[in-house]
Amino acid sequence: MRRRDVLGLGLGALAAAGAPMRRATAAPTSLTVVSEAGPNSFDPIGVGVNRNSIQITWNVYDRLLRFGTKQGLGGASTYDYFALEGEAAEAWEVSPDATRIVFHLRKGATFHDGAPVTARDVKWSLDRVVSLPIGKAQFATGSLTAPEQFVALDDTTFQVSLPRADRFALPNLALTFPIIVNSEEARRHAGADDPWATAWLKTNVAGGGPFRLESYAPGEGAVFARNEAWRNGAAPALSRVIWRVAPTAQLRRATLQRGDADLAQDVSPQDAADLAADPALKVVGAPMTGVFQFIAMNCATAPFDNVKVRRAIAAALPYDAMFQAALFGRGRPLFGPAAPDDPAFPQPLGTATDLAKARALLAEAGLPNGFDTTFTYELSLASIAEPVALLAQEALGKIGVRVTIDKTPAGQLGARLQKKEVPFYFEASAAFLADPDYFFRIFYTGPTRWNFGSYANAELAALVERTRFETDHAAYARDVRRMIELAKDELPIILLWQPALDVAMRRRVEGMKLQFHRQLDLRTLSG
């Protein structure tokens, strides 16, 4: 049953996971993958966890639910936000008032060490999510805030209670955070000062997902082995996946072309265009829904606390040149003419290059001679961020803004953003859930690292709260349009584009599914 269908029924009936999973005979096959960087944690809710870590946690852990699949552009399927399926849960029931959800776990499912997966493990795992800062912030978007909301009714039955019907509760359970942890194993490595075993789970796996982590070498890569006992989906076709870190675009390209790798992630836009012409290879990809790259300014720090300074920066940036230099045009621009009365978001903010306007705004801000600042980007994004930084540095110099470029080692920017100590920077992120009010709640309000501009606007915060449970579509659209107006006017972050997620591979590789988190889903791959 599709989530939009359940919502249309008032979340009142049965939501089932579909037909029982049948075990396929999977022939031994292996795949070698290269990517720009590796993980800095095996725990999806640790502070400062990088995106590459998802490649570990998504494949070695299960969740109660997962998003379905739909046909995408560019030769790959993509996740379907509105079609939830069961993973550890084989079925679930929603009460007529949508405040109680009962999940039925698949019988016979085990963790990698052979221990059975029980509702007690699910409770401990979700208690952990709402007890740690990163997980708590995300789960709060679905009214999941306290351990008391999670109850193990028996070994295979688990209940979630909500204070009111919430359209974000179920999709939150399909995100990267709510991994089901072997709670007995994790507790053995917990302590009074670390009750959720955060230190141990950062470097160890206690899961039961479709793959085991066979080995890992920091900075070099990892090896996954198929979990032959997995019962929460169709058996993966791949028996082994070797993941190697290849930090430069040239190395990833050469490794793939000479046959030492079967699939290359983090393919630069230029390489994507070139590799697509190689008869031995293919490139699949498309602009990713909800994914965006941007330039942020810390609104709580001078001079970026002055809206005229932010507008001046936005008027000085060379958008077209950055788009071509960084992405070779492979993506969807979020600059240029704004969409009239469109309540969808993200969308173009109407930003355009106008140096005369930028100089005038700086003068109005009391900075006719400009100012000095530092522009930061993380080295894991260097292939895109470096041309953006250099072009921004050059353009801003023309209006008197003197920029020093700060290149932060991979995996370190997240922790600095959590502390709100970076004034001006390039970053990328993704809205896991598709609703516009969710986007504004996550990226434009609150104290978390995800409020990249440290933006605080009472009107927008009130609009976010008002739309949270709004059921009147016209009222919802009207309030979203006002949020978009504020984002365009006050510019705490300057949206640049939605990049294409390009993955290059040998022609025999099939089953690529573009996930919301932009990492590989090894369940679906073959070749």
Choice between 15 and 473, residue whose per-residue pLDDT is larger: 473
The rounded distance, in Å, linking the Cα atoms of 187 and 197 is 7
- Residues linked to residue 282 through DSSP beta bridges, in sequence order: 505
Q: What is the pLDDT confidence band of residue 249, given thresholds at 50, 70 and 90?
A: confident
pLDDT at 404 over 90: yes
The angle formed by the CA atoms of residues 106, 107 and 108, to the nearest 5 degrees, is: 120
Sheet strand arrangement including 150-154: 14-16, 89-94, 100-105, 157-161, 150-154
What is the model's pLDDT at position 318? 98
Please report, for the chain, how many H helices and E strands are present, in that order. Answer: 17, 20
Q: Contact 56/222 with Cβ under 8 angstroms? A: yes
pLDDT at position 18 is 38
Tell me the C-alpha to C-alpha distance, in Å, between residue 421 and each of 118, 141, 305, 449. 42, 25, 14, 10
Q: Out of 16-25, 102-111, 267-276, pick the least confident.
A: 16-25
Give CA–CA dist 427/417, Å, rounded.
10
SS3 state at 74: coil
Above pLDDT 70, what percent of the chain? Answer: 94
CA-CA distance, 261 to 442, in Å (whole number)?
37
- Residue 1's pLDDT is what? 30
Mean predicted confidence (pLDDT) in 103-113: 97
Instruction: Please write the tens of the pLDDT for every residue from 413-427.
Output: 888 998 999 999 999
- Asked if residue 227 has pLDDT above 90, the reply is yes
User: Contact at 8 Å (CB) between 264 and 505?
Assistant: yes
25 falls in which pLDDT band (50, 70, 90)?
very low
DSSP structure class, residue 229? T
State the average pLDDT over residues 42-54: 90
Write down the pLDDT at residue 516. 87
Residue ranges and CATH numbers for the domains of the chain are 3-240+508-514 (3.40.190.10), 291-500 (3.10.105.10)
* Statement: residue 14 has pLDDT above 50: no
pLDDT tens-digit series, residues 366-396: 999 999 999 999 998 888 999 999 999 999 9
What pLDDT does 75 receive? 61
pLDDT in tens, 163-200: 999 999 999 999 999 999 999 999 999 999 999 999 99
Average pLDDT over residues 447-466: 95
Residue 13 pLDDT level (bands cut at 50, 70, 90): very low
Q: Which of 348, 296, 345, 339 is nearest to 463 (CA)?
A: 345
pLDDT at 288: 79
Percentage, residues of the chain above pLDDT 90: 76
Rounded distance, CA 226 to CA 237, Å?
9
**Coil, strand or helix: which one is 29?**
coil
Question: Residue 226: its pLDDT value, please?
Answer: 97
Exposure string for 463-487, b = 16+ CB within 10 A, e = fewer: bbeebbeeeeeeebbebbeebbebb
Q: What is the DSSP letter of 452?
A: T
d(CA 462, CA 232): 41
> In angstroms, what is the C-alpha Rg of the chain?
23
Q: In angstroms, how far is CA 35 from the centroid of its own chain? A: 17
* pLDDT at residue 48, as a whole number: 81
| Cα–Cα distance measured from residue 368 to residue 312, given in angstroms and rounded to the nearest whole number | 11
Q: E strands, 177-290, where?
A: 211-217, 221-226, 240-245, 263-264, 281-287
Query: What is the rounded CA–CA span in Å between residue 195 and residue 46?
Result: 14
Retrieve residue 153's tokens.
Answer: 């009714």
CA neighbor of 412 nearest in space, from 445, 451, 462, 378: 378
Mean pLDDT estimate for the chain: 91
217-231: string of b/e by CB count within 10 Å (b at 16+)? eeeebbbbbbbeebb
In which region does residue 352 sit, left (phi positive, over 0), alpha (psi from -120 to 50) or beta (all else)?
beta
The yes-or-no verdict on residue 141 having pLDDT over 50 is yes
Contact between 172 and 190 (Cβ < 8 Å): no
Residue 95 has pLDDT above 90, yes or no: yes
Backbone dihedral angles phi then psi of residue 287, each to the nearest 5 degrees: -55, 130
pLDDT of 12 above 50: no
Contacts 24+ apart (CB under 8 A), 464-473: 464/437, 464/440, 467/437, 468/437, 468/441, 469/164, 469/165, 469/166, 470/437
Name the pLDDT band for 74 (thresholds 50, 70, 90): low
- The per-residue pLDDT for range 282-310, each reduced to its tens digit, is 998 878 778 899 999 999 999 999 999 99
